[in-house]
């Protein structure tokens, strides 16, 4: 599932290619995503130009003078730049063709993604308006997390994966950030000290930045907009390392499920640190 670094990698890749290029046509081969793609998308976009791209959480926003395309890659979506006359792959549901003879192609085998159009401020759209702060923003601080956690008795891992608390920290990076901060993923959010939250905020920012630098994590099918795989999977300390030993202390890693999501941690390095 694409998380923030993968979405950011894709957004950075497509931006220089599509900005300021006239949209000559749009082909929608399958309208059935998580929300149906607008029937008149082709008519709306033809002749327009994308003037600005932006990422908010795991959403990609492509703005024209009349409105914005809101995209979410869901479980298995991807955006790639291809020559306009390429042969579409089986799950390539949308192609946006530009005057420079390139196409922005949306591929999504599981079809949990979203492609919507709005003429209003996209950040106020119902899908985006309740998102928490961006992890790289000045609003995302230890004090903010500590205060938000006061009434939260859920495990810390679920707390930081809640996009209304902070956007874009998905399963892979939640596992990694908790290991780096030496926090047990099961510890209740409201029992964690401010000092531990300081460490956690620092590690979340550091890990996400490093993952972006490495082009994201490719477990199954993530690629950047040119089809190249990410490299951060080689840097993972706990995620995907079921039954292997901790790099720090050699203890066998523990694997459990928290909120249906695979959670891997070291029971020796990641001890509860209760207030
Ligand atoms: Zn350990």
CATH number for the domain that contains residue 82? 3.20.190.10
Intra-chain end-to-end CA distance of the chain, in Å: 34
From ligand 1's centre to the CA of 263, what distance in Å? Answer: 15
pLDDT of residue 273: 64
From ligand 1's centre to the CA of 253, what distance in Å? Answer: 7
pLDDT of residue 225: 85
Please report whether residue 171 resides in a domain: yes
Q: Which of 3, 6, 92, 203 is catalytic?
A: 3
55 is catalytic: no
Domain end among 75, 95, 124: 124
- Which residues are within 8 A (CB) of 3 and not within 5 positions of it... i.e. 6 or more apart? 58, 168, 169, 170, 171, 172, 173, 216, 217
Please report whether residue 272 resides in a domain: no
Residue 260 structure tokens: 């249906």
pLDDT of residue 226: 85
Residue 155 structure tokens: 């495990």
Considering only CA atoms, which of 94, 73, 35 is closest in space to residue 223? 73
Please report whether residue 255 resides in a domain: yes
From ligand 1's centre to the CA of 143, what distance in Å? Answer: 27
Tell me the CA distances in angstroms from 54 to 29, 35, 164, one per residue in order: 25, 21, 19
Same domain? For 151 and 260 the reply is yes
Please report whether residue 137 resides in a domain: no
Q: Which of 2, 5, 135, 185 is catalytic?
A: 2
Beta bridge partners of 104: 81, 96
Same domain? For 56 and 170 the reply is no
Say how far residue 178 (Cα) sits from the centre of its chain: 18
Same domain? For 84 and 116 the reply is yes
pLDDT of residue 271: 87
pLDDT of residue 228: 86
Q: Which of 46, 241, 261, 268 is catalytic?
A: 261
CA separation for the pair 157, 170 (Å, rounded): 10
Q: Which of 56, 58, 152, 199 is catalytic?
A: 58
In which domain, by residue range, is 97 found? 4-124
Same domain? For 33 and 148 the reply is no
pLDDT of residue 274: 57
> What SS3 class is residue 233?
helix
Residue 251's domain is classified under what CATH number? 1.10.8.50
Same domain? For 84 and 185 the reply is no
Q: Measure the CA angle with vertex 238, ends 134 and 154; round to 5°.
A: 55
Considering only CA atoms, which of 120, 24, 125, 14 is closest in space to residue 67? 120
Same domain? For 51 and 13 the reply is yes
Please report whether residue 196 resides in a domain: yes
For ion ligand 1, residues whose CB falls within 5 Å:
246, 248-249, 251, 266, 268-269
Same domain? For 102 and 160 the reply is no
Residue 201 structure tokens: 């905020």
Query: Could you state, in chain order, the average pLDDT of each consecutive group of 10 residues for the chain (275 residues)?
Result: 92 96 96 91 97 96 98 93 94 96 94 95 97 97 98 96 95 97 96 96 97 88 84 92 96 95 96 66
Same domain? For 16 and 112 the reply is yes
Domain end among 124, 158, 175: 124
From ligand 1's centre to the CA of 140, what distance in Å? Answer: 28
From ligand 1's centre to the CA of 243, what distance in Å? Answer: 13
From ligand 1's centre to the CA of 145, what distance in Å? Answer: 25
pLDDT of residue 62: 98
Please report whether residue 234 resides in a domain: yes
Same domain? For 82 and 148 the reply is no
From ligand 1's centre to the CA of 48, what distance in Å? Answer: 54
2 is catalytic: yes
Please report whether residue 273 resides in a domain: no
Same domain? For 260 and 147 the reply is yes
From ligand 1's centre to the CA of 15, what distance in Å? Answer: 41
Number of domains in the chain: 2
Q: Which residue has the tokens 């703005």?
A: 63
Same domain? For 108 and 146 the reply is no
From ligand 1's centre to the CA of 265, what distance in Å? Answer: 8
Domain end among 124, 153, 181: 124
261 is catalytic: yes
Same domain? For 225 and 171 the reply is yes
């Amino acid at each position: 599932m694409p998380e923030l670094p993968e979405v950011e990698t894709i957004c950075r890749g497509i931006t220089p290619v599509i900005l300021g290029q006239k949209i000559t046509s749009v082909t929608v081969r399958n309208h059935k995503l998580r929300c149906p793609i607008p029937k008149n998308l082709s008519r709306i976009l033809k002749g327009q130009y994308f003037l600005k791209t932006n990422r908010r959480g795991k959403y990609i926003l492509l703005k024209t003078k009349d409105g914005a395309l809101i995209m979410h890659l869901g479980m298995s979506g991807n955006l790639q730049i291809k020559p306009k006359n390429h042969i579409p792959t089986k799950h390539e549901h949308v192609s946006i063709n530009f005057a420079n003879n390139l196409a922005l192609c949306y591929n999504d085998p599981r079809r949990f993604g979203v492609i919507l159009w709005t003429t209003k401020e996209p950040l106020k759209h119902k899908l985006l308006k309740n998102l928490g702060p961006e992890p790289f923003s000045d609003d995302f601080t230890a004090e903010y997390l500590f205060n938000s956690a006061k009434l939260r008795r859920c495990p810390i891992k679920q707390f930081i994966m809640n996009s209304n608390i902070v956007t874009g920290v998905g399963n892979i990076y939640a596992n990694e950030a908790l290991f780096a901060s030496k926090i047990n993923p099961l510890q209740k959010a409201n029992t964690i000290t401010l000092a531990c939250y300081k460490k956690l905020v620092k590690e979340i920012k550091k890990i996400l930045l490093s993952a972006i630098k490495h082009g994201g994590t490719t477990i199954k099918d993530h690629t950047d907009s040119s089809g190249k795989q990410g490299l951060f999977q080689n840097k993972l300390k706990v995620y995907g390392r079921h039954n292997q030993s901790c790099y720090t202390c050699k203890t066998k890693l523990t694997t459990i499920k928290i909120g249906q999501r695979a959670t891997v941690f070291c029971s020796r390095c990641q001890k509860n640190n209760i207030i």
